[in-house]
Amino acid sequence: MLPPILQKLRIPVVGSPMFIVSGPELVIAQCKAGIVGSFPALNARERDGEPAMLDIWLTRIAEELDRHNQANPDRPAAPFAVNQIVHRSNARLDRDIEICHRHKVPIWITSLGARVEVNEAAHDCGGIALHDIINNAFARKAVEKGADGLIAVAAGAGGHAGPQSPFALIQEIRDWFDGPLLLSGAIATGRAVLAAQVMGADLAYIGSPFIATVEAHADPAYKRMICDSGAMDIVTSSLFTGVSGNYLAPSIRAAGMDPDRLDRADAETMNFSDASAKPKAWSQIWGAGQGIGAVRDVVPAGALVDRLAAEYDAARAAVPRD
């Protein structure tokens, strides 16, 4: 059984958090359209001495969704989620947990490390915690540490993808886990959302298609490249962050490198302490998953959700019933 907060979505989709790309505009548009919207807490940055941007964003999201719900009681907004990067180099983690706890964030998404205290903070304010994992061992560890649900990040996902087939990953986790299970990686059509459910997941976790939306915080050339590219244009490399991730080959070429001859990098180089210290990844080397062949135009996020919903309904109707 899904927790009540994940039950009333228009379609079983979570708009996944994306470094730099996801901000309040995208989250609000996703939630108003009926899917969970999310953003990484680290995207909310202020200058030294200024009030915490995360506080400001959370206030704005809550107010705008509240206004929407009052005006549209028949189609209320979906809940939103905040992503915490639980990595030792994230010096803001404790502060960001405190802010999210104070704002009673309903869905907490944790990546790159499972920690009991983060899950406890989520539960203490009435929220649920979903942890992203790339294999069955990490999945077990996350549940032991108190995560309510799992996000299985399979091969082909944008960002730090896993190496495993979604079939293998979902099957191994569903063998022992009957809680909320989300599938991440190259899901870009309503038919693929249904396929994820048939495979054993409860919800699809979709990132890259939302880069090509009006509300995404991305360079127009990045949005265009998503529309013009397909799976063959995606390159897997550890060079840019220290962890294996998927990137658009044309953006690597544009930065003067050969996508076919990239060095490997060490996981120790991963650093979330300071935006300026980050490698060029995400700002000049653009991340994307393998599903982008289904993305043809830059559209408002609501229109993308409409497309996914229409395709999902058509795919369900086309399944033989006997």
> Could you write out the DSSP letters of every residue in 237-300?
ESTTTSS-EEEEHHHHHHTT--TTSPPP--GGG---S-GGGS-SBTTTB-B--GGGGG--S-B-
Measure the N-to-C terminal CA separation of the chain; round to a whole number of Å: 25
Binding site for ligand FMN (CB under 6 A): 16-19, 21, 40, 83, 111, 132, 153, 157-159, 184-187, 205-208, 282, 287-289, 291
Cβ 162 to ligand FMN shortest distance, Å:
9
Q: For residues 19 and 57, which CB has a smaller minimum distance to ligand FMN in the complex?
A: 19
Q: For residues 77 and 187, which CB has a smaller minimum distance to ligand FMN in the complex?
A: 187
Per DSSP, 131 falls in state E
Cβ 245 to ligand FMN shortest distance, Å:
8
Q: For residues 132 and 233, which CB has a smaller minimum distance to ligand FMN in the complex?
A: 132
**H-helix segments, 43-165:** 53-71, 93-102, 116-124, 136-144
> Could you write out the DSSP letters of every residue in 81-111?
EEEEE--TT-TTHHHHHHHHHHTT-SEEEEE
Cβ 15 to ligand FMN shortest distance, Å:
9
Q: For residues 67 and 253, which CB has a smaller minimum distance to ligand FMN in the complex?
A: 253
Paired tokens of 64: 């705008």
In angstroms, the CA 28 to CA 236 distance is: 31
In angstroms, the CA 314 to CA 88 distance is: 45
Cβ 109 to ligand FMN shortest distance, Å:
6
Cβ 223 to ligand FMN shortest distance, Å:
12
Q: For residues 121 and 183, which CB has a smaller minimum distance to ligand FMN in the complex?
A: 183
Cβ 10 to ligand FMN shortest distance, Å:
18
Q: For residues 111 and 136, which CB has a smaller minimum distance to ligand FMN in the complex?
A: 111
Paired tokens of 222: 């990045």
